[in-house]
Amino acid sequence: MKRYFGRKLLIYVITFFLAVTIDWLIPRLMPGDPIQNMLARAALNANAAERMYTYYTHAFQLDLPVWQQYLSFWNALLHGDLGISTYLFPTPVVDIIKAAVPFDIFLLLPAILLSWWAGNKFGAYAARTKRLDNTVLPIAYLLTATPYMWLGILLAWVFGIILGWLPIAGAYSYTMGTDLSWAFVGSVLKHWILPFLSLFLVGFGGWAIGMRNMIIYELEADYSHYLEALGAPRKLIRKYAFRNAILPQLSGLALQLGVIVAGALVTEVVFSYPGIGYLILSAIQNQDYFLVQGCFLFIIIGVLLANFLIDIAFVIVDPRTRKGMVGE
Protein backbone atom coordinates (compact mmCIF):
# COMPACT_ATOMS: atom_id res chain seq x y z
CA MET A 1 0.00 0.00 0.00
CA LYS A 2 2.70 2.45 1.07
CA ARG A 3 4.82 1.48 -1.90
CA TYR A 4 1.94 1.85 -4.30
CA PHE A 5 1.16 5.37 -3.17
CA GLY A 6 4.84 6.22 -2.95
CA ARG A 7 5.28 5.29 -6.59
CA LYS A 8 2.14 7.14 -7.59
CA LEU A 9 3.29 10.20 -5.70
CA LEU A 10 6.65 10.14 -7.46
CA ILE A 11 4.91 10.01 -10.83
CA TYR A 12 2.75 12.94 -9.83
CA VAL A 13 5.77 14.98 -8.76
CA ILE A 14 7.54 14.33 -12.07
CA THR A 15 4.38 15.14 -13.99
CA PHE A 16 4.00 18.35 -12.03
CA PHE A 17 7.55 19.41 -12.79
CA LEU A 18 7.21 18.76 -16.52
CA ALA A 19 3.78 20.34 -16.77
CA VAL A 20 4.88 23.48 -14.96
CA THR A 21 7.93 23.75 -17.21
CA ILE A 22 5.75 23.58 -20.29
CA ASP A 23 3.38 26.03 -18.64
CA TRP A 24 6.28 28.45 -18.24
CA LEU A 25 7.50 27.89 -21.78
CA ILE A 26 4.30 28.11 -23.80
CA PRO A 27 3.39 31.77 -23.16
CA ARG A 28 6.95 32.78 -24.05
CA LEU A 29 6.58 31.13 -27.43
CA MET A 30 3.68 33.44 -28.28
CA PRO A 31 4.48 36.14 -30.77
CA GLY A 32 4.30 39.65 -29.36
CA ASP A 33 5.49 41.39 -26.25
CA PRO A 34 3.55 41.72 -22.99
CA ILE A 35 5.19 45.00 -21.94
CA GLN A 36 4.46 46.67 -25.26
CA ASN A 37 0.92 45.47 -24.94
CA MET A 38 0.62 46.91 -21.47
CA LEU A 39 2.09 50.28 -22.46
CA ALA A 40 -0.06 50.48 -25.55
CA ARG A 41 -3.06 50.91 -23.29
CA ALA A 42 -1.53 53.96 -21.67
CA ALA A 43 -1.28 56.98 -23.93
CA LEU A 44 2.38 57.96 -23.70
CA ASN A 45 4.66 59.97 -25.93
CA ALA A 46 7.35 58.04 -27.75
CA ASN A 47 10.15 59.12 -25.47
CA ALA A 48 8.38 58.25 -22.26
CA ALA A 49 7.22 54.96 -23.75
CA GLU A 50 10.76 53.94 -24.50
CA ARG A 51 11.93 54.61 -20.96
CA MET A 52 8.89 52.96 -19.45
CA TYR A 53 9.48 49.97 -21.68
CA THR A 54 13.04 49.54 -20.49
CA TYR A 55 11.94 49.99 -16.92
CA TYR A 56 9.18 47.45 -17.00
CA THR A 57 11.14 44.92 -19.03
CA HIS A 58 13.71 45.04 -16.29
CA ALA A 59 11.13 44.97 -13.53
CA PHE A 60 9.52 41.86 -14.99
CA GLN A 61 13.00 40.39 -15.56
CA LEU A 62 12.27 39.87 -19.23
CA ASP A 63 15.71 41.20 -20.15
CA LEU A 64 17.47 38.35 -18.41
CA PRO A 65 18.68 35.22 -20.26
CA VAL A 66 15.95 32.64 -20.60
CA TRP A 67 17.52 30.10 -18.23
CA GLN A 68 17.73 32.73 -15.51
CA GLN A 69 14.09 33.62 -16.05
CA TYR A 70 13.27 29.94 -15.70
CA LEU A 71 15.16 29.52 -12.47
CA SER A 72 13.78 32.65 -10.89
CA PHE A 73 10.31 31.51 -11.97
CA TRP A 74 10.75 28.28 -9.97
CA ASN A 75 12.25 30.18 -7.09
CA ALA A 76 9.28 32.55 -6.95
CA LEU A 77 6.82 29.70 -7.42
CA LEU A 78 8.23 27.75 -4.50
CA HIS A 79 7.80 30.87 -2.40
CA GLY A 80 4.17 31.09 -3.45
CA ASP A 81 4.72 34.06 -5.73
CA LEU A 82 3.08 33.90 -9.13
CA GLY A 83 4.15 37.36 -10.18
CA ILE A 84 2.29 40.51 -11.16
CA SER A 85 -0.18 40.61 -13.98
CA THR A 86 0.74 42.89 -16.89
CA TYR A 87 -2.82 42.97 -18.16
CA LEU A 88 -4.37 43.99 -14.84
CA PHE A 89 -1.20 45.79 -13.66
CA PRO A 90 -0.33 46.03 -10.82
CA THR A 91 -2.56 43.35 -9.28
CA PRO A 92 -0.73 40.18 -8.21
CA VAL A 93 -1.74 37.11 -10.23
CA VAL A 94 -2.67 35.26 -7.04
CA ASP A 95 -5.27 37.87 -6.15
CA ILE A 96 -6.82 37.82 -9.62
CA ILE A 97 -7.14 34.05 -9.56
CA LYS A 98 -8.45 34.07 -6.01
CA ALA A 99 -11.27 36.35 -7.12
CA ALA A 100 -12.16 34.14 -10.09
CA VAL A 101 -11.95 30.65 -8.58
CA PRO A 102 -15.08 30.87 -6.38
CA PHE A 103 -17.16 31.57 -9.47
CA ASP A 104 -15.73 28.51 -11.20
CA ILE A 105 -16.40 26.26 -8.28
CA PHE A 106 -19.86 27.70 -7.82
CA LEU A 107 -20.70 27.11 -11.47
CA LEU A 108 -18.85 23.92 -12.28
CA LEU A 109 -18.99 21.82 -9.16
CA PRO A 110 -22.79 21.53 -9.17
CA ALA A 111 -22.86 21.21 -12.97
CA ILE A 112 -20.33 18.36 -13.03
CA LEU A 113 -21.56 16.47 -9.98
CA LEU A 114 -25.25 16.79 -10.76
CA SER A 115 -24.86 15.88 -14.42
CA TRP A 116 -22.73 12.88 -13.39
CA TRP A 117 -25.23 11.72 -10.81
CA ALA A 118 -28.32 12.31 -12.91
CA GLY A 119 -26.72 11.03 -16.11
CA ASN A 120 -25.62 7.77 -14.51
CA LYS A 121 -28.98 7.18 -12.85
CA PHE A 122 -30.82 7.93 -16.02
CA GLY A 123 -28.47 5.90 -18.23
CA ALA A 124 -28.80 2.87 -15.98
CA TYR A 125 -32.56 3.26 -16.01
CA ALA A 126 -32.72 3.70 -19.77
CA ALA A 127 -30.62 0.56 -20.29
CA ARG A 128 -33.43 -1.60 -18.99
CA THR A 129 -36.43 0.31 -20.26
CA LYS A 130 -36.91 -0.17 -23.94
CA ARG A 131 -39.25 2.75 -24.47
CA LEU A 132 -36.97 5.17 -22.71
CA ASP A 133 -34.02 3.74 -24.56
CA ASN A 134 -35.71 4.45 -27.87
CA THR A 135 -37.08 7.89 -27.11
CA VAL A 136 -35.00 9.82 -24.63
CA LEU A 137 -31.60 8.37 -25.41
CA PRO A 138 -31.44 9.88 -28.91
CA ILE A 139 -32.00 13.22 -27.19
CA ALA A 140 -29.04 12.46 -24.93
CA TYR A 141 -26.94 11.81 -28.04
CA LEU A 142 -28.05 15.13 -29.46
CA LEU A 143 -27.24 16.92 -26.20
CA THR A 144 -23.79 15.49 -25.79
CA ALA A 145 -22.90 16.17 -29.40
CA THR A 146 -23.91 19.80 -28.96
CA PRO A 147 -20.99 22.21 -28.53
CA TYR A 148 -21.23 23.99 -25.17
CA MET A 149 -21.17 27.43 -26.70
CA TRP A 150 -23.89 26.69 -29.21
CA LEU A 151 -26.20 25.34 -26.53
CA GLY A 152 -25.21 28.32 -24.39
CA ILE A 153 -26.06 30.79 -27.13
CA LEU A 154 -29.31 28.96 -27.81
CA LEU A 155 -30.30 29.08 -24.14
CA ALA A 156 -29.32 32.74 -23.87
CA TRP A 157 -31.35 33.53 -26.95
CA VAL A 158 -34.49 31.67 -25.83
CA PHE A 159 -34.53 32.45 -22.12
CA GLY A 160 -32.69 35.74 -22.17
CA ILE A 161 -33.74 37.48 -25.34
CA ILE A 162 -37.05 35.98 -26.49
CA LEU A 163 -38.63 35.16 -23.14
CA GLY A 164 -36.59 37.67 -21.17
CA TRP A 165 -36.74 35.53 -18.04
CA LEU A 166 -33.07 35.36 -17.20
CA PRO A 167 -30.04 37.61 -17.53
CA ILE A 168 -27.46 36.49 -20.07
CA ALA A 169 -24.21 38.11 -18.95
CA GLY A 170 -22.07 38.38 -15.83
CA ALA A 171 -22.20 36.59 -12.51
CA TYR A 172 -24.47 39.18 -10.86
CA SER A 173 -26.17 42.41 -11.80
CA TYR A 174 -23.63 45.13 -12.76
CA THR A 175 -25.68 47.72 -10.94
CA MET A 176 -25.30 45.91 -7.66
CA GLY A 177 -22.60 45.99 -5.02
CA THR A 178 -21.06 42.77 -3.83
CA ASP A 179 -22.37 43.13 -0.29
CA LEU A 180 -24.17 40.04 0.94
CA SER A 181 -27.85 40.81 0.71
CA TRP A 182 -30.84 38.69 -0.34
CA ALA A 183 -31.14 40.75 -3.50
CA PHE A 184 -27.50 40.00 -4.31
CA VAL A 185 -27.86 36.28 -3.67
CA GLY A 186 -30.96 36.24 -5.86
CA SER A 187 -29.10 38.04 -8.61
CA VAL A 188 -26.18 35.61 -8.42
CA LEU A 189 -28.53 32.63 -8.66
CA LYS A 190 -30.39 34.14 -11.59
CA HIS A 191 -27.16 34.72 -13.47
CA TRP A 192 -26.02 31.22 -12.60
CA ILE A 193 -28.95 29.29 -14.10
CA LEU A 194 -28.20 29.60 -17.79
CA PRO A 195 -24.46 28.81 -17.74
CA PHE A 196 -25.20 25.98 -15.31
CA LEU A 197 -27.92 24.60 -17.54
CA SER A 198 -25.76 24.65 -20.66
CA LEU A 199 -23.00 22.74 -18.86
CA PHE A 200 -25.40 20.37 -17.10
CA LEU A 201 -27.29 19.36 -20.24
CA VAL A 202 -24.23 18.55 -22.31
CA GLY A 203 -22.63 16.63 -19.44
CA PHE A 204 -25.86 14.81 -18.65
CA GLY A 205 -26.17 13.47 -22.19
CA GLY A 206 -22.62 12.16 -22.19
CA TRP A 207 -22.86 10.42 -18.83
CA ALA A 208 -26.24 8.90 -19.65
CA ILE A 209 -24.97 7.35 -22.87
CA GLY A 210 -21.81 6.06 -21.24
CA MET A 211 -23.71 4.50 -18.38
CA ARG A 212 -26.35 2.97 -20.60
CA ASN A 213 -23.72 1.23 -22.71
CA MET A 214 -21.75 0.08 -19.68
CA ILE A 215 -24.84 -1.38 -18.03
CA ILE A 216 -25.81 -3.27 -21.14
CA TYR A 217 -22.27 -4.61 -21.33
CA GLU A 218 -22.29 -5.66 -17.66
CA LEU A 219 -25.71 -7.30 -17.93
CA GLU A 220 -24.24 -9.50 -20.67
CA ALA A 221 -21.23 -10.39 -18.52
CA ASP A 222 -20.86 -13.95 -17.26
CA TYR A 223 -21.53 -13.07 -13.65
CA SER A 224 -24.88 -11.54 -14.63
CA HIS A 225 -25.82 -14.65 -16.58
CA TYR A 226 -24.87 -16.80 -13.63
CA LEU A 227 -27.13 -14.82 -11.32
CA GLU A 228 -29.93 -15.17 -13.85
CA ALA A 229 -29.39 -18.91 -14.07
CA LEU A 230 -29.69 -19.06 -10.30
CA GLY A 231 -32.92 -17.11 -10.54
CA ALA A 232 -31.58 -14.17 -8.52
CA PRO A 233 -33.94 -11.18 -8.34
CA ARG A 234 -33.56 -8.52 -11.03
CA LYS A 235 -32.75 -6.03 -8.31
CA LEU A 236 -29.63 -7.88 -7.23
CA ILE A 237 -28.44 -8.35 -10.81
CA ARG A 238 -28.90 -4.66 -11.55
CA LYS A 239 -27.15 -3.71 -8.35
CA TYR A 240 -24.08 -5.74 -9.31
CA ALA A 241 -24.09 -4.41 -12.85
CA PHE A 242 -24.42 -0.82 -11.67
CA ARG A 243 -21.60 -1.16 -9.19
CA ASN A 244 -19.26 -2.46 -11.85
CA ALA A 245 -20.42 -0.09 -14.55
CA ILE A 246 -19.80 2.94 -12.37
CA LEU A 247 -16.02 2.32 -12.22
CA PRO A 248 -15.06 3.78 -15.61
CA GLN A 249 -17.51 6.61 -15.01
CA LEU A 250 -15.63 7.40 -11.84
CA SER A 251 -12.35 8.00 -13.64
CA GLY A 252 -14.21 10.15 -16.15
CA LEU A 253 -15.53 12.21 -13.28
CA ALA A 254 -12.01 12.63 -11.92
CA LEU A 255 -10.84 14.15 -15.17
CA GLN A 256 -13.71 16.61 -15.16
CA LEU A 257 -13.26 17.58 -11.55
CA GLY A 258 -9.60 18.15 -12.21
CA VAL A 259 -10.23 20.90 -14.72
CA ILE A 260 -12.82 22.53 -12.51
CA VAL A 261 -10.55 25.47 -11.77
CA ALA A 262 -9.98 25.87 -15.47
CA GLY A 263 -13.58 26.86 -15.68
CA ALA A 264 -15.51 26.20 -18.80
CA LEU A 265 -13.85 28.55 -21.21
CA VAL A 266 -16.46 28.83 -23.92
CA THR A 267 -19.41 28.81 -21.55
CA GLU A 268 -17.85 31.57 -19.50
CA VAL A 269 -17.09 33.57 -22.61
CA VAL A 270 -20.65 33.20 -23.92
CA PHE A 271 -22.15 34.33 -20.62
CA SER A 272 -19.32 36.75 -19.69
CA TYR A 273 -18.99 34.77 -16.47
CA PRO A 274 -15.94 35.97 -14.53
CA GLY A 275 -14.29 32.61 -13.90
CA ILE A 276 -10.81 31.37 -14.79
CA GLY A 277 -11.89 30.35 -18.27
CA TYR A 278 -12.82 33.91 -19.03
CA LEU A 279 -9.58 35.06 -17.43
CA ILE A 280 -7.44 32.73 -19.55
CA LEU A 281 -8.89 34.17 -22.72
CA SER A 282 -8.17 37.74 -21.64
CA ALA A 283 -4.70 36.80 -20.44
CA ILE A 284 -3.81 35.21 -23.75
CA GLN A 285 -5.23 38.07 -25.75
CA ASN A 286 -3.09 40.48 -23.75
CA GLN A 287 0.00 38.28 -23.70
CA ASP A 288 0.03 38.32 -19.94
CA TYR A 289 2.72 35.66 -19.30
CA PHE A 290 2.23 35.66 -15.60
CA LEU A 291 -1.52 35.42 -15.58
CA VAL A 292 -1.52 32.62 -18.19
CA GLN A 293 1.10 30.78 -16.14
CA GLY A 294 -0.87 31.24 -12.97
CA CYS A 295 -4.15 30.02 -14.47
CA PHE A 296 -2.55 26.95 -15.95
CA LEU A 297 -0.72 26.22 -12.74
CA PHE A 298 -4.05 25.97 -10.98
CA ILE A 299 -5.32 23.65 -13.70
CA ILE A 300 -2.25 21.43 -13.35
CA ILE A 301 -2.64 21.22 -9.60
CA GLY A 302 -6.36 20.56 -9.97
CA VAL A 303 -5.92 17.72 -12.46
CA LEU A 304 -3.18 16.04 -10.46
CA LEU A 305 -5.07 16.38 -7.19
CA ALA A 306 -8.28 14.99 -8.65
CA ASN A 307 -6.44 12.06 -10.19
CA PHE A 308 -4.76 11.31 -6.92
CA LEU A 309 -8.07 11.35 -5.08
CA ILE A 310 -9.59 9.00 -7.62
CA ASP A 311 -6.58 6.70 -7.28
CA ILE A 312 -7.46 6.43 -3.63
CA ALA A 313 -11.17 6.02 -4.36
CA PHE A 314 -10.43 3.20 -6.80
CA VAL A 315 -8.44 1.33 -4.20
CA ILE A 316 -11.53 1.44 -2.03
CA VAL A 317 -14.16 0.46 -4.61
CA ASP A 318 -12.28 -1.90 -6.92
CA PRO A 319 -10.47 -4.82 -5.30
CA ARG A 320 -8.61 -5.49 -8.54
CA THR A 321 -6.44 -2.39 -8.04
CA ARG A 322 -5.53 -3.61 -4.58
CA LYS A 323 -4.20 -6.82 -6.05
CA GLY A 324 -1.80 -4.86 -8.25
CA MET A 325 -0.39 -3.13 -5.19
CA VAL A 326 0.93 -6.23 -3.51
CA GLY A 327 1.96 -7.84 -6.78
CA GLU A 328 5.37 -6.18 -6.89
Partner 1 sequence: MSLRVEDLTVYYQTLRGDVRALESATFSLADGEIMGLAGESGCGKSTLSNSLIRLAPPMKHIKGRVILDDQELPIADLHAMNEYRFTEISVVPQYAMNAMNPTRKIGKMAEELLRSRGIDARKALPELERRLDLVELDHDVLKMYPIEMSGGMKQRMVMVLSTLMDPSLLLADEITSALDVSTQKAVAKMLVGFRDREIVKSIVVITHDMSILYQIADGIMIMYAGQLAEKASTETIIHSPRHPYTKLLITSLPKVGVKHDEVRLKGIPGNPPLLLDPPTGCRFRERCPLAFEPCMDVPPFVEIEPNHFVACWKEGGANA
Residue 287 binds partner 1, judged by CB under 8 A:
no
Q: What is the 3-state secondary structure (H, E, C) of the chain?
A: CHHHHHHHHHHHHHHHHHHHHHHHHHHHCCCCCHHHHHHHHCCCCHHHHHHHHHHHHHHCCCCCCHHHHHHHHHHHHHCCCCCECCCCCCCEHHHHHHHHHHHHHHHHHHHHHHHHHHHHHHHHHHHCCHHHHHHHHHHHHHHHHCCHHHHHHHHHHHHHHHCCCCCCCCCCCCCCCCCCCHHHHHHHHHHHHHHHHHHHHHHHHHHHHHHHHHHHHHHCCHHHHHHHHCCCCHHHHHHHHHHHHHHHHHHHHHHHHHHHHHCCHHHHHHCCCCCHHHHHHHHHHCCCHHHHHHHHHHHHHHHHHHHHHHHHHHHHHCHHHHHHHHHC
Size of the site for partner 1 (CB under 8 A): 22
- Residue 240 as a binder of partner 1 (CB under 8 A): the answer is yes
Q: Which of 228, 248, 255, 285 binds partner 1 (CB under 8 A)?
A: 228
Stretch that binds partner 1, among 84-92, 97-105, 116-124, 219-227 (CB under 8 A): 219-227
Nearer to partner 1, 242 or 273 (CB): 242
- 222 near partner 1, rule: CB under 8 A: yes
* Residues in 242-281 at the binding interface with partner 1, rule: CB under 8 A: 243-244, 247
Which residue of 66, 142, 225, 285 would you call a contact of partner 1, by CB under 8 A? 225
Q: Where does this chain touch partner 1 (CB under 8 A) — which range of 10-18, 24-32, 50-58, 226-234?
A: 226-234
Q: How far is the CB of 322 from partner 1 (least distance, A)?
A: 8
Q: Does residue 318 bind partner 1 (CB under 8 A)? A: yes
Output 154 or 317, the one with its CB closest to partner 1: 317
315 sits near partner 1 (criterion: CB under 8 A):
no
Q: Which CB sits closer to partner 1, 1 or 162?
A: 1
Which spans of this chain sit near partner 1 (rule: CB under 8 A)?
221-223, 225-233, 236, 240, 243-244, 247, 317-320, 323
